[in-house]
Structure 1
């Protein structure tokens, strides 16, 4: 799925550390090189022990921000499934809240512990781990795909043994059982990945540069200005959401249904829906993703669906409901699935080949005398060739070790608990399916974490889809194979996703001198928070909006139906597809592979003009309204960069985060109002002249 925390290319954050550390002009080259050292800037500041990096105020702030970001991720999950990286916002807001807190305590003379970059890293790690559960928990995909609401949208496998409606109890229990395994699976390899192999982890590195820059004097000043910009646009976005609410008293009402390009285009889902969230997402996402979305929308809703709709009665029955998978809806869903699978398969083998080649290269060029620190002790001495920064970072990274026996014991213990408990949550998921997953999962978790370190690309959902097809087919249609496949997807996806996330955080901690122990503990606490916060937030949506998961509603949860149909496809084969749909699926499956191949062959510069198949597939089912919003965001940032590139680069992410956060947090009061039975007072609809005349005539009688 494009745009998820693990799967979207993270924003590259330009560090201004070099500018902050270079002082006088005209120094000798050697002196300049020394001045460019990040750790020399912080050499006068003592690094607190790992226990003091884990402060109460850090976890209080993490909890508050975790709730905020969970609402944002949940809203995005249930609308389009495109989720931008929120690391920048987490680091920025974490810095602002604790810095404000410590300033007040300092003025009152009550400050006992200053705010450090290590504590900032703990907050960022905890917040992202917490809100990440909103994605890996499957509330917009596999978990909600088990529900009766989604099952009713398909005539296949909608019997009782393939349905499990969400309840708060089993969702929290399921997440607690499966969300921690990935953390223990790669802990023994942390020193090999970060120090011996020196994997880049671009997102972890970029986040570390950001946090390091915040804690220099000039960086702190810029951060305050960024927070002010974020707060300004947060307020605007929140108030805009509140204003729009007044006009949404019925279905199809409000600014979100404004026929920007005319009523005919609106019927084909081409319109601007005034969503501050997706304008903000568009400002963060690369231009290529936004253009790819628009290309996919034009190809599907502008060309293909009208042509297929013209064959109604020939290719499929004209009597079918619009939501039937045996009609036009089937083409929309299954062709999108084919493109997603083609893209996922290509990237799986691409990243796997990078991983295997990288491992071979690392091991074949390795000095046989070098110690790979697998045990709890560090090497006796560090190579003198390392820079000052690397020597200091490596020494501190190897100082506080997490015993390998603890990781192995933790993995085995949680695995035993889950083998016993998961069959009680899902009776169709037999214990031996779980054992097989847990035997294979550490290898896949390593591959995902290593590949992510090379490419910044996590394939968590691809491994989840692999589990859908293999375990679902193993279970069989007559034994609840559809539900089994979805549950297996959740188990696998949580393991490999949290493994790569933890390794990214270890890289951030390595570059900010945060202890591996504090990183590991904050990841565990953040994950535990997410296992409670995310189900509660989803439950609020589930209870507040009666049409949750229904196509065309405010929260259609498109990927829930996509994942369920993948499971049906894996268990029951191609019998569910309408006429010629399988042929079109083959065409788009191979087209996705060919396009990706061409992108890799032509080089990076030319590839920026070739659309991404994964991004193109998303509007096939949903329409182009959110793609238009995101292109507006791209246009804003493009014009801003033309006018003042430095200011756009510095404040663009903050403005975008403000738009996303404000609109996202508005869902909390709107959900509470819906639960309390408070409804908007006005319905604003847009009608054609002919329809309006009929309405006026009817009212006159």
Structure 2
């Protein structure tokens, strides 16, 4: 932390309570909207957003409107609680693992589909939602205090909070935000930090009022367009390249402001990687597989069509990219552990660097008891839900142990690269369980879900703890916020998913849940080794290519090379395969808008203007808000008003779609 800010921040954090009721309530309100938004987008495309920066901004604006301005430290708790509430859709597997269980069949998997009731889904969520939270406090000193890992999105959120509250810049002297990509996880879980890396923003009352108006209007416009698209589905399924390509090859365009907003938040480099993936997957490999007879079914069929065929290539790219990107993290972890062992018996300077008093820290006894209790109870719950045929108790304990180790790797990867490879880490657990419980697809999926949940929760909290460290918020207050947000979100997310499954077919035309197929495909591959015709060759080719690309990217990142941002992201490229072209095209527009805006603002010397991020956040939240309205309308039996223009058969909700 810069020297000129130490005394001020030290005084602030000693005199201000962070875990206030208003901070937690604000966080829960914002997080609930994010939760519905993330579940909606996650089931559509596999994309969710941490939205920590946006949560801090919205919390600040809301508190001003309510004439009860939060302090900087309260704002940290607001965004910590909001993130914990908003990301449960991914952490508890509602966009991947749980839909995958519903896709099981006796012929391929040796077990019938598993559809969890509301009570069972609630119990599952409790079983996986906590142990990762207890992983972060004991390693906070090492990665934040001693090593000062960058955690770029956490640092960016701290910068935004600092300028909103007119504090000195909290950036660590060794942090270099400009070289990091905004993409945070390989599920598409991301934040934007590219626009607030400077020292100050114009926070006059008129500017704040303008920010609030921008957020409100962008949200309302996005909500209105989304509501119109519910009644007139063709609005979000335009046959841009003709009815034939739309009907036979799934090439439509969705002018959804939310996906344009996502592209703005992701940034141009990420959306370009997705677009390249879309072109290779949907314009090259999909027709090739169809015409060669490797995927003879309808293109959109996940089992026999080319959409299911290219998912295997996407899986190979994701695994290769995740594993290679983890190599330096593992090496550094092993080296650091070896150094700690050789230095035992000598004084550890980490304690000397601790800036917090004991009453503001999370006691280790809480960590030990919390972690142990969550693992033991989680094991019992999993055995109760799935039985020995699903996963045996010893295997659950092994899953938690693997998940704990992988959570540490997730934290380090996030701190160094701003990438939390939760899906890749889950797949590592799947590989282990292919040996531990061979031929058991259910156990394989559960093990992957446990690892993903731990990595997600540990990474989110550590990112937030970095923000709190720079702003002077109490780690214990943030810990409370994380636990409260996670607990509250278990009920919100489980209920929302239960309503979705009653109103829609999941996976289905409206919500294809593409990541569910990725999880299930790997589990099936590890069970019987059968691949679609010729897909193995392309998996090897693309995995090798992106392993090399990832290695180059890692090397350039460690050398802080400016060309890093121009190297394609393997995960983003794979998501271009995963999603139909309609979503990627809209995100590309958003990415292009972000690049144009950033260039113009920098040329005017106004690189810190956050207006575009505010508008993009409104776009995303507007459609998320209407998703709740659409869910209610669907549950009441209120359908589309007109199927005009839906002759290509790609309109969601239309009988012909």
- Shorter-chain TM-score range: 0.7 to 0.9
| Paired residues for 1:385-396 under 5 Å | 394-396=354-356
Residue of structure 2 aligned with 1:520, choices 475, 479, 502: 479
Change (3 A) 1:438 1:140: closer
Residue 366 (structure 2) aligns with: 406
Q: Distance in 2 between matches of 1:400 and 1:43?
A: 13
Query: Matched residues in 2 for 1:649 and 1:53: separation?
Result: 28
Counterpart of 1:26 in structure 2 is none
Matched, 1:290 2:290: no
Is the contact between residue 230 and residue 655 of structure 1 (CA under 8 Å) also seen in structure 2?
yes
Q: 1:532 to 1:474 in 2, by over 3 A?
A: same
- Displacement of 1:366 after TM fit? 11
Q: 1:158 to 1:561 in 2, by over 3 A?
A: farther
Aligned equivalents of 1:483, 1:85: Cα separation in 2: 28
Partner of 1:144: 99
Counterparts of residues 563-582 of structure 1 (less than 5 Å) = 563-573=519-529, 575=530, 577-582=531-536
Distance (Å, rounded) in 1 between the aligned partners of 2:34 and 2:333 = 32
How far 1:541 moved relative to its partner?
1.7
Alignment-derived partner of residue 209 in structure 1? 159
8 Å contact kept, 1:340–1:614: yes
Residue number in structure 2 paired with 1:390: none
Which residue does the alignment assign to 2:636?
676
SS in 1 for 2:355: helix
Aligned partners of 2:65 and 2:300: how far apart in 1? 54
Structure 1 residue 676, shift from structure 2 partner: 0.6
Deviation, structure 1 residue 95: 1.2
Select which of 548, 554, 562 maps to 2:518. 562
Q: Following TM superposition, by how much is the alpha carbon of 1:444 offset from its aligned partner in structure 2, in angstroms? A: 2.7
* 1:393-430 alpha-carbon deviations (Å, 9 max, x no partner): x5335552322122112211222222222101111110
2:326 maps to 348
Contact 2:267 2:595 in 1 (8 A): no
Q: CA deviation at 1:647?
A: 6.9
CA contact (8 A) 1:343 1:614 kept: yes
Match of 1:463 among 425, 435, 447: 425
2:108 corresponds to: 156
Output one character per residue of 1:528-551: Cα deviation in whole Å (capped at 9) or x when no partner.
Answer: 112111111212222222x3312x
The aligned runs of 1:255-654 (5 Å cut-off) are 255-266=235-246, 267-312=248-293, 315=294, 318=296, 323=301, 325-357=303-335, 368-373=346-351, 379=352, 394-396=354-356, 400-427=360-387, 428-477=390-439, 481-545=440-504, 547-550=505-508, 553-573=509-529, 575=530, 577-600=531-554, 604-645=561-602, 646=606, 649-654=609-614
1:395 aligned counterpart, secondary structure: coil
Picking from 28, 31, 41, the partner of 1:63 is: 28
Distance in 2 (alpha carbons) for counterparts of 1:499 and 1:538 = 23
What residue in structure 2 maps to residue 3 of structure 1? Answer: none
Q: 1:195 to 1:572 in 2, by over 3 A?
A: same
Q: Distance in 2 between matches of 1:232 and 1:43?
A: 38
The question of 1:120 aligning with 2:75 is answered: yes
Secondary structure in structure 1 of the residue aligned to 2:641: coil
In 2 relative to 1, CA 404–657 (structure 1 residues): closer, same or farther, beyond 3 Å? Answer: same
Correspondence for 2:134: 184
How far apart, in 1, do the equivalents of 2:162 and 2:495 lie? 34
Report if the CA contact (8 A) 2:407-2:451 is conserved. Answer: no
Task: Give yes or no for the alignment of 1:238 onto 2:223.
Answer: yes
2:176 matched to which residue of 1?
A: none
Aligned-partner SS, 1:261: coil
Asked if structure 2 preserves the Cα contact closer than 8 Å seen for 1:258 and 1:271, the reply is yes
Deviations 1:601-642 (A, max 9, x none): 567433433322221122324332111101111222233334
Alpha-carbon distance in structure 1 between the residues aligned to 2:114 and 2:470: 44
Partners of 1:255 and 1:86 lie apart in 2 by 27
Q: Residue 55 of structure 2 corresponds to which residue in structure 1?
A: 90
Question: Is contact 2:237–2:582 with CA below 8 Å preserved after alignment?
Answer: no
The question of 1:38 aligning with 2:5 is answered yes
How big is the shift at 1:669? 0.6
Show structure 2 runs of 5+ residues with no match: 168-201, 649-657
Q: Which moved more, 1:649-658 or 1:268-277?
A: 268-277
> Relative to structure 1, is the Cα distance of residues 191 and 139 closer, same or farther in structure 2, using a 3 angstrom cutoff?
same
The 8 Å contact of residues 23 and 70 in structure 2, kept in 1 or not, is answered as no
Residue 151 of structure 1 aligns to a residue whose secondary structure is coil
Does the aligned pair in 2 maintain the 1:293–1:624 contact within 8 Å? no
Q: Distance in 1 between matches of 2:384 and 2:527?
A: 22
CA distance in 2, matches of 1:334, 1:129: 31
Stretch moving more, 424-433 or 448-457: 448-457
> Any idea what SS the aligned residue of 1:181 has?
coil
Contact residue 122 and residue 490 of structure 2 kept, 8 A: yes
Report the CA distance shift for 1:311/1:608 in structure 2 as closer, same or farther (over 3 A): same
> In the alignment, which residue of structure 2 is the partner of 1:21?
none
Q: Please state how far the C-alpha of 1:321 moved relative to its aligned partner.
A: 8.8
Q: Distance in 2 between matches of 1:319 and 1:280?
A: 34
The CA distance in 2 between the partners of 1:413 and 1:82, in whole Å, is 32
- Does structure 2 retain, via aligned residues, the 8 Å contact 1:92–1:223? no
Q: How far did 1:434 drift?
A: 1.5
What is the match of residue 110 of structure 1?
Answer: none
Q: Matches of 1:227 and 1:438 in 2, distance apart?
A: 44
**Distance in 2 of aligned mates of 1:229 and 1:356:** 48
- Please give the alpha-carbon distance, in whole angstroms, between the structure 1 residues aligned to 2:85 and 2:297: 46
RMSD between superposed Cα atoms in Å = 2.8
Change (3 A) 1:417 1:242: same
Deviations 1:29-80 (A, max 9, x none): xxxx87xx2345557757446xx42222222222211210011111111111
Partners of 1:601 and 1:192 in 2: CA distance: 24
2:144 is equivalent to residue 194 of structure 1? yes
User: Which moves more between the two structures, 640-649 or 529-538?
Assistant: 640-649
Q: CA deviation at 1:86?
A: 0.8
Specify whether residues 157 and 367 from structure 1 end up closer, same or farther in structure 2 by C-alpha distance, changes over 3 A only. Answer: closer
C-alpha distance in structure 2 between counterparts of 1:400 and 1:68, whole Å: 30
Q: Structure 1 residue 658: deviation in Å?
A: 0.5
Contact 1:354–1:451 (Cα < 8 Å) also in 2:
no
1:657 — aligned with what?
617
**1:307–1:417 distance in 2 versus 1, CA, 3 Å:** closer
Post-superposition offset of 1:301: 1.5
2:573 and 2:283 map into 1 onto residues whose CA distance is 13
Alpha-carbon shift at residue 116 of structure 1 (Å): 1.2
